[in-house]
Structure 1
């Protein structure tokens, strides 16, 4: 039975389990819509919400249902660092590794988020490797909290560590 037949039979459609952020023309608009939807469900102002980021430790095949709140985002790349899946934190990149695929991240709207710990690196996420943007459009999308691992967050700042939505310029 296809999706239209399910909808006609009275079943409700659910959102996709995983979202590929790079597929959106305006990913910031999509992320704002997710926050707005959460604000409506919780009956709070969107201005009181911010993101909590939970990096998945399981394979995407094990993510069978959408999260209760927020969205699962896949397809990001980490530049200037590697990712330790076991400890869920930043590590030095392997020799000659310019970028590494990032596991799926749960973007979860939360109200009145706690202060960011010093063990967290506020990792910028950009559309493209050219971070300055182009054609009158900024390249920055969102800052994602990642555990900085054995190194202080300043180490990753100096490395120029960032998440990229696309490896094409």
Structure 2
């Protein structure tokens, strides 16, 4: 019920405002992949380029959400994700070992920035993002949303693969 109220609140505020929201709660969308595709399509139209040449650059915020006052020129700020299987070092903006007994931790806001012809760095961990903790999904609905590049810190990206590190949109099944 709490998620439903937050979802209704997000869309009601968006409908009332002339400008798009500064922060988007990605979990509030029934089909977040469609929202992200629409953001890429909007950027492609503005820049008059093919949407197929665009991909995401992910910039994890180092400031408090209250300091994000205006939406970005291109892309969106996404909030409300959870990190499972690792911790996050805000100072160095990279993955670290989780605190003892901490299975999941809130993740900072991420700037999803559309960029053209981007190459992936080998020092980055392509962190899968899922709708919910059951990664296999449900009948007819896969759980995978998007791969998000995160700095792997002092270890190789393979370390986080073995840990099963992932981002989650929701902690509820």
Shift of 1:76: 0.2
Shift of 1:13: 1.9
CA distance in 2, matches of 1:18, 1:163: 18
Which residue of the other structure, out of 50, 57, 61, is the alignment partner of 1:52?
57
- Whether 2:45 is the aligned partner of 1:40: answer yes
Q: Where has structure 1 moved over 3 Å in runs of 4 or more?
A: none
Which residue of the other structure, out of 96, 102, 110, is the alignment partner of 2:107?
102
The equivalent residue for 1:137 is 141
- Whether 2:150 is the aligned partner of 1:160: answer no
The equivalent residue for 1:3 is none
- Whether 2:92 is the aligned partner of 1:87: answer yes
Shift of 1:86: 0.2
Choose 1 or 2 for highest CA Rg. 1
CA distance in 2, matches of 1:96, 1:24: 30
TM-score, normalised to structure 2, is 0.89
Gaps of 5+ in 1: 1-11
CA distance in 2, matches of 1:83, 1:62: 20
The equivalent residue for 1:117 is 121
The equivalent residue for 2:78 is 73
CA distance in 2, matches of 1:142, 1:124: 6
CA distance in 2, matches of 1:168, 1:47: 33
The structure in which a higher percent of residues are helix is 2
CA distance in 1, matches of 2:122, 2:41: 29
Post-superposition Cα deviations, 1:9-43, rounded to whole Å, max 9, x if no partner, equal xxx92110000000000000000000000000000
What's the Cα RMSD here?
Answer: 0.9
Shift of 1:159: 0.2
Shift of 1:135: 2.5
CA distance in 2, matches of 1:56, 1:37: 23
TM-score, normalised to structure 1, is 0.91
Gaps of 5+ in 2: 1-16
The equivalent residue for 1:6 is none
